[in-house]
Amino acid sequence: MQFFDIQNSLFEIWGYSLSYVEFIGTVFGFVSVYFASRANILTWGTGIINEVFLFILFFQVQLYADMFLQVYFFAVTLYGWNQWKRKKQRGHITFLNAKQRSWIGIALLTGTIALGFFFSNLHLLLPHYFKLKAAYPFADSFVMMASILATVLLAQKKMENWYLWILIDSVCVVLYAIKGIYFLALEYGLFLILVNYGFFHWKKLKADA
């Protein structure tokens, strides 16, 4: 449908043509992160809308790891929504222990490498569906793997999810700017501010619990 084509412009700002898909995905992504920073359960409902529209966007700009990541996000969103409904919204915030942090680091490194090689060859494995070669597959795979881990930690209300989001958002600002999706890159710059706020707000909630 034409509505979902990133060439279908909602409006133009400073010479940049902003599509409906990028606008909707970006706005709901920002709202979702804001709710997460406040430990508000609405983060999961708004996140679903963000995931659907970013799936469509990333397919069209050949960021295939980010595209598949939205499918994972959707599944974890349902898990996280259920987890938070079963707990007090402002309670149960905890830290990982040293061993758990080590396993997170190992998973991030090995997952990034494995996914990077996979997405580097995706256009060869499935040429009918992916006619163009993946753009920046290893950077994209880092975003995917780190986001997988960060979302699980968020669903479990682990404080370390915010450290991962800081790394993710920093990479995404550069990656999306290079790919020319500037509105989304700007959003991830704002996310850097929000995730720092989220960390300190969660820390305060834990201290007050």
SS3 readout for 130-199: CCCCCCCHHHHHHHHHHHHHHHHHHHCCECCHHHHHHHHHHHHHHHHHHCCCHHHHHHHHHHHHHHHHHH
For 78-105, what is the mean pLDDT?
84
Instruction: Give the Cα separation of 57 and 53 in Å (integer).
Output: 6
Taking residue 138's Cβ as centre, other Cβ atoms within 10 Å add up to: 16
- Residues in a beta bridge with 17: 12
For 168-193, what is the mean pLDDT?
88
Query: Whole-number mean pLDDT of the chain?
Result: 87
pLDDT at 6: 63
Flag whether pLDDT at 89 surpasses 60. Answer: no
pLDDT at 120: 93
Instruction: Give the Cα separation of 88 and 92 in Å (integer).
Output: 7
Per-residue pLDDT band at 161 (split at 50, 70, 90): very high
For 117-139, what is the mean pLDDT?
89
For residue range 60-79, list pLDDT tens digits in order. Answer: 888 887 888 899 889 989 98
Contact by Cβ (8 Å): 42, 35:
yes
Nearest alpha carbon to residue 171 among 151, 189, 153, 159? 189
Flag whether pLDDT at 135 surpasses 70. Answer: yes
Contact by Cβ (8 Å): 141, 121:
no
Pick 90 or 197 by higher pLDDT.
197
Instruction: Give the Cα separation of 57 and 78 in Å (integer).
Output: 22
Q: What is the DSSP letter of 39?
A: T
Distance of CA 139 to the CA centre of its chain: 13
pLDDT at 203: 86
Flag whether pLDDT at 15 surpasses 80. Answer: no
- 131 exposure class (CB count in 10 Å sphere: 0-12, 13-18, 19+): exposed
Please, which residues have CB within 8 angstroms of residue 148's CB and are 6 or more apart in sequence? 69, 72, 76, 111
For 169-178, what is the mean pLDDT?
92
